[in-house]
Amino acid sequence: MKKPIATPSRTKEILETHQMSAKKNYGQNFLIESGIVEKIARSAIVSDNCVVFEIGPGIGALTQYLCEYAKKVVSFEIDERLPAVLQDTLQEYDNFELVMQDFLDVDLNAWVKKYKDLGMDVVVAANLPYYITTPILFKIFESGADISAITVMMQKEVADRFYAKVNTKEYNALSIVTQYRCEVSQVMKVPKNVFMPKPNVDSAVLQFRFKPKREDINEDVFFSLVKACFKQRRKTIRNNYQDFVQDKQKAQYQLELAHIAPERRAESVTIDEFIQLYEVYYNDK
């Protein structure tokens, strides 16, 4: 690598040379600490035969390290000013491909299939644009695509919800839906002073790895049940659940059958207990 992009002076120099500034509406906060970028890249690449799909390369800070360590990097970017910049900053890499498209419109399954057919492992890496963190992750989760790992930076408070354990104030339907589908681990916490411009809040890098899909569970029904149980956090699970089954006695009976005391609150109910409740609900229909 000639020069890391993720330093304050190099980032300033690139922005000045290309007469551009960060666009807030695209969630642009560029990384300026190369040690952190290197760690994200190293954790993202899980094998020697990897293609990385990157969301939002910006001026190339993370992309550069991904290109160093992965066989191939495909980056999806929305900001039309950036192809010219990346052509300059990443000129030393011939394993880099830029796709100018809103990631939410990308045909992810087709892209994954292309590289799986070549026998490669597919991973996702990004310093995510914060304004669409959850839609991007749910697009990936719901695609069902064969992706080995998703390693992404997001606002710390959003990460806390994805990662939350039972009996904490962050634990909610999003935590359960995510942890039902994926093993979630925290790679590191990241302070706000390693970005230019500096955001108002700290960040964290999480890694998601898909669990094997359970064919015996109808996910749409399971997720609606979980969401219904968290509808009013302060209410007991019985009060929330009875709206879902539309029958007070049935709610009480099914919760007891699932060994969940009806006066508990949803935030104390583990994923396995929610699965038990789903099974009782499904068999009682």
To which H or E segment does residue 11 belong?
Answer: helix 8-17
Rounded CA separation 143/145 (Å)? 5
Cα separation of the two ends of the chain: 61
Nearer to ligand SAM, 83 or 144 (CB): 83
Rounded CA separation 111/120 (Å)? 12
Residues engaged in binding ligand SAM (CB under 6 A)? 26-31, 55-58, 61-62, 76-79, 102-104, 127, 129, 132
DSSP state, residue 181 = H
CA 274 centroid distance within chain: 23
Nearer to ligand SAM, 202 or 243 (CB): 202
Query: Considering the complex, what minimum distance in angstroms separates the CB of residue 106 from ligand SAM?
Result: 8
Query: Considering the complex, what minimum distance in angstroms separates the CB of residue 217 from ligand SAM?
Result: 31
* Identity of residue 5: I
Rounded CA separation 57/65 (Å)? 11
Nearer to ligand SAM, 104 or 261 (CB): 104
Nearer to ligand SAM, 122 or 132 (CB): 132
